[in-house]
Amino acid sequence: MKIAVLDDYQNIALNMADWTEVTKMAGVDVFQDHISDQQQLLTRLMPYDVICVMRERTPLTAAIMRQLPNLKLIVSTGFRNASIDIIAAKELGIEVKNTDYFDHGASEMTWAMLMAIARNIPAEVQNVKNGGWQTTIGTDLRGKTIGIVGLGGIGSKIAAYARAFGMNVIAWSQNLTAETADGAGAQLVTKEKLFREADFITLHLVLSERSVGTVSKHELALMKPTAYIINTSRGPLINEHDLIQTLTDRKIAGAAIDVFETEPLPADHPFRTLDNIMATPHIGYVTQDTYTLFFKDMVAALEHWLRQQ
């Protein structure tokens, strides 16, 4: 048996869990690099019986799986992985297993990004390194309004953080009810009202055909010129072209983005050079506790499966 562990950017997979029993039963190859080209990806994956993937870093589509005759098992980190065609896997007789997941990493990252852009922390850190001193004026959180798009597990945590900082909390999503919003300490408003009134807007929706492009030029145009938008959920929730144009024209104060339509972010992407965006490399779930959970569960799933072969 041959096992491929994909997209281990930090080269830590084998250090986060005990792979001893797995390596007694199968060969394990860990890849740090990411391959976007489909033909190159197929060439790499062709020999493997098992593929281990980190969230949605490498999509496993029906077209790819049909060309991998040796593939018998996919192990993915997290509860769900929208980039795996589960129906096609079932049709092809490929098992798909998932690991457990901690959702506090994403909410903590969201709040860290919100505070960083509010107080201009990245710019001031760089100013100090460049010999400068106090070149910007921060934004207070107390008394400001946060708009939460999607009030599920993570969104509800953000609502609690916001209340602790004395913020007004409003929320919207297509299926959100006033009762649910009230239970999370938020006020249900229309989508338009949220984008018009919020000083900070943060997205926490599951990516689906319905949620793609939830934020486009229409919503961005409603925002205050002093407002910020934050996305630690999924890149396609925001139309990137529209956000780039909005930031270029300085129609809003800024953005904090941890997720992108294409990952890793291309070297020439405008998000790498615009001075009113704080872009981070999808690190919302990249924490010690979460990675330990991911890889321990991955190893357990592999051991169980291999012993049945």
Instruction: Give the 3-state secondary structure of residue 51.
Output: strand
179: left (phi over 0), alpha (psi -120 to 50) or beta: alpha
Tell the residue number behind the tokens 């994403």, with chain if given.
106
Domain ranges of the chain: 2-102+287-307, 104-279
pLDDT at 197: 98
Closest CA to 202 of 158, 245, 166: 158
User: Hey, which residues are catalytic here?
Assistant: 234, 263, 282
Residues 187-204: tens digit of each pLDDT: 999 999 999 999 999 999
Instruction: Give the 3-state secondary structure of residue 74.
Output: strand
Tell the residue number behind the tokens 């615009």, with chain if given.
274
Residues 94-119: tens digit of each pLDDT: 999 999 999 899 999 999 999 999 99
Closest CA to 268 of 295, 244, 235, 302: 244
Which DSSP string corresponds to 257-300? ES--SSSSPPTT-GGGT-TTEEE--S-TT-SHHHHHHHHHHHHH
According to CATH, what is the number of the domain 104-279? Answer: 3.40.50.720
- Distance CA(42)–CA(145), nearest Å, equals 48
According to CATH, what is the number of the domain 2-102+287-307? Answer: 3.40.50.720
Q: Name the pairing type of β-strands 187-188 and 95-98.
A: unpaired
Buried b (16+ CB within 10 A) or exposed e, 211-244: beebbeeebbebbbeebbbbbbbbbbbbbbebbb
The two domains 2-102+287-307 and 104-279 share their CATH topology (first three levels equal): yes
pLDDT at 82: 86
pLDDT at 275: 95
Residues of the chain under the 70 pLDDT cut: none
pLDDT at 178: 97
